[in-house]
Amino acid sequence: MAIPRSDYQALTAFAVQLLGRGLTSSTRLLSASFDSPAPGGLQQLQPSIAAAASFFGEALFGGPEWGTLKGAWLFSMLKSETTEVSGRFLMVCLMYAQRMGEAICLGEDHLIKKKGTESELLRRQRTPALLRLLGEILNQQGLQLQDVSSASRYFFSRAAELFQEAEAFGPGYAHAYTSWALSHTMLGDLAKAEAVAEQAVRRCPGFWVHPLQRPSHFLPNIASHAWHEVKNFPWMAKLQDHWLEIKDELLKLQGEAWPEVRGHDRSLSKGTGVWREFPLLGLDVDSKSSCPHTWHLLTQVEPVWSHWQLCPNEETALFSRLTPGMHLKPHCGPTNLHLTCHLGLQVPPGCSIRVGKEWRTWHEGQCLVFDDSYEHEVRHDGDSTRIVLLVRFWHPDVDPKQRQALLAAKLKQRKLKEWTLCSSNSYCSSTGTECFRGRPG
């Protein structure tokens, strides 16, 4: 669709067209189209999103029409809500295209405070929806720059300010609490992260149930405990009975290459130690030949086997090795759909793990079971290497018939971030089947 660069109204109309007849249907359009490759679906829309981001970005930031377009944008703010909608749409386009810097510049330009008429017009666009969206983009930029601590701290700090301002405008927007709490967590301010989560628990019943349990994807109406009893999982008794055979297979791997943790997990490392893992199930790894006894024990457990089969791109089982001086910073896992088991295999004095409020330690030949969607951290203040067998398995309250649908809902939520286009305080549950509405606390 050719758009004359001088025609600002056509530019806005194009944005609204891609949104699907305005703000109210935008999330339904993107949400429904993500599930289906039907005409107009997100699979077909992705090239349009990329083209829109490229066109808008060039016109607004690189083209000679910048001054004219900016003036038209400011003028039209007085006349139509769709201008603010198209602005947020452009920011979402840029976020999807991983052009975070441009998205941040656009959002900050909306919020900037200047003297005169332009200031009054800009302040008209200081909506809670824009504040929340810009906060989310700043968080994403901070996560990408975590190796540069001072830069990432700026982005997380700025994001926290914007979420705070959005809350003052309109409290109770559920999904924003996830990102707001993340900002404080990444800054190391756990008290503020917990305070944000307490607001979410109070104002959005069913979104979260405990201020220390802050996953990005949450399934309500299943048991919520930081620690679980080993006796409730009979299959763990067999792991404990055979722990020496498992350790023998572990020792044979000591000469192998153990990769350092990757992705977001790497940013959790703190201190002088090293955190390495040897995958057993998941990430295209099948350890049947290298660890046959361990493999057999794990694959006989239906909640473990099913997790491996349904989550091939996640780590279902691995050996986790920490050297002295390592501290894994406090964090929450991404979902409460699974629980985590640790079997101690090599445990020197001075090692400990906190889940929720309670600290515990490992013992060789014994299991610990916890929900890693609760805030947790690990410290190794000992003088030799600690190694555990880590196993993820389905939460026992998750209906096996619903597992695949729940995983699809989680994936959609992570990729689409549909809440960034919403203006109201309503939100969808993790299952995608129920609607809730935030309410003032």
Q: What is the DSSP string of 367-386?
A: EEEE-TTB-EEEEE-SSS-E
Strands (E), 208-336: 227-228, 269-271, 275-282, 285-286, 315-322, 326-331
How far is 203 from 222, CA to CA, in rounded Å?
20
Range name among 57-66, 134-143, 313-322 with the lowest pLDDT average:
57-66
User: Domain limits at 359?
Assistant: 227-394
- Please tell me the total count of domains within the chain: 2
Digit-coded pLDDT (tens) for 3-40:
343 444 444 444 444 443 333 333 343 334 334 433 34
Digit-coded pLDDT (tens) for 263-303:
667 778 888 899 999 999 998 887 888 999 999 999 999 99
CATH of the domain at 371: 2.60.120.330
Of 158, 199, 207, 190, the closest CA to residue 331 belongs to 190
Answer with the one of 96, 126, 156 that is the final residue of a domain. 126
Whether 220 is covered by a domain: the verdict is: no
Whether 151 is covered by a domain: the verdict is: no
Digit-coded pLDDT (tens) for 294-341:
999 999 999 999 999 999 989 999 999 999 999 999 999 999 999 999
Residues 382 and 242 in one domain: yes
Answer with the one of 353, 368, 394 that is the final residue of a domain. 394
Residues 105 and 237 in one domain: no
| Structure confidence at residue 160 as a pLDDT band (50, 70, 90) | very high
Residues 349 and 232 in one domain: yes
Whether 65 is covered by a domain: the verdict is: yes
Residues 114 and 258 in one domain: no
Identity of the amino acid at 101: G
Answer with the one of 126, 156, 173 that is the final residue of a domain. 126
How far is 287 from 317, CA to CA, in rounded Å?
10
Residues 268 and 390 in one domain: yes
Residues 244 and 111 in one domain: no
Whether 121 is covered by a domain: the verdict is: yes
* Block residue for tokens 């493999």: 295
Residue of higher predicted confidence among 258 and 214? 214
Digit-coded pLDDT (tens) for 375-388:
999 999 999 999 99
Of 254, 280, 423, 260, the closest CA to residue 326 belongs to 260
Residues 261 and 383 in one domain: yes
Q: Give the per-residue pLDDT at 428.
A: 35
8 A C-beta contact, residue 390 and residue 333 = no
